[in-house]
């Protein structure tokens, strides 16, 4: 089966548009299968759309700030068991 460029472009643009809106991938794939598209073009279109969206995403150049806090020595209290509080 030959995948036409036009159909693949439609699938890629469909995935990009709806993934940006926040729809889950599984729902989009199922919608295309229900419309009569074959699985192979859907999978190829999804892979291309994911790659293009990943390239469009901004790259973060900031490094996380790590804060360290020194905690003093642990103070232990004399705790009595629950039953000794009431019965001596």
Indicate the domain borders of the chain.
5-56
Query: Higher model confidence: residue 70 or residue 44?
Result: 44
The pLDDT of residue 33 is 94
Helix axes 25-34, 5-21, angle to 10 degrees: 140
* Nearest-angstrom CA–CA distance, 75 and 72: 9
pLDDT tens per residue, range 74-88: 777 777 777 777 776
* Whether pLDDT at 7 is above 90: no
Give the C-alpha distances (Å, rounded to integers) separating 86 from 21, 47, 58, 80, 82. 61, 67, 63, 10, 7
Mean predicted confidence (pLDDT) in 45-63? 88
* Whether pLDDT at 24 is above 80: yes
């Amino acid at each position: 089966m030959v995948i036409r460029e036009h159909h693949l472009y439609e699938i890629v643009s469909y995935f990009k548009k709806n993934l940006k809106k926040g729809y889950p991938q599984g729902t989009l794939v199922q919608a295309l299968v229900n419309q009569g598209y074959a699985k192979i073009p859907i999978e190829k279109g999804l892979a291309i759309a994911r790659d293009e969206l990943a390239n469009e995403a901004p790259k973060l150049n900031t490094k996380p700030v790590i804060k360290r806090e020194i905690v003093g020595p642990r103070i232990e209290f004399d705790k009595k068991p629950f039953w000794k509080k009431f019965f001596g």
